[in-house]
Structure formats: structure tokens, C-alpha cells
Amino acid sequence: MQKSIYVCCGTGIATSTVIAKKVGQALKDNGIQHKISQGTVANAPTFVQTNKPDAIVSSADVNGNVGETPVISGRPFLTGIKKNEAIDELLNALK
């Protein structure tokens, strides 16, 4: 079953693109079929209501109602610090 992930940052362009590539590679390495959508942090609540992603990976704090959708910090995918822990958190959220 394909998993849907919303990757977001302040502008929905540069930072989220870097994170999306690294998240996509981590999911591929773990044999998880996925679809990644990118956007802004401000749009996260609307995206969740409309598209019901399985998880959100964000470089910034997500404010607003995203319901029960797990939010994973995208910072480790940028810095490499605690990246394996972030991958594990994402994989657990997608189970």
C-alpha cells in the first residue's frame, strides 16, 4: 500500500525539496512505496483535510489542526544529526 507523506518548510520550495529527496530515499531503502507532496507549513492543515497524508515531515513547527497525522521533524534530514532516529520515527508512524 502506497504511503502519502507531506513534506513542508516555510516557502515550500528549497528546504522541502532537500528533505523530500532524503525522505524518499529512506523510504525506498526500506521498501516502502510512497508519494511525497511538498508545500508550506502554513498549508499543512488544509493539505491534511484535503489529502489525508499518512505523515508530515516539516523543517518548522506545524501550527494548526492536523488531527492525528504524525508530524516528524525534518531537521535531521538536513543536518544529518539524529537522522537514523528520524527515519525510525517516520517508519513507525507509517506502520
Catalytic residue among 5, 7, 8, 9: 9
Separation CA 1–CA 9 (nearest Å): 26
Active site residue 8: no
Burial (Cβ within 10 Å: 0-12, 13-18, ≥19) of residue 82: middle
Query: Which residues are designated catalytic?
Result: 9
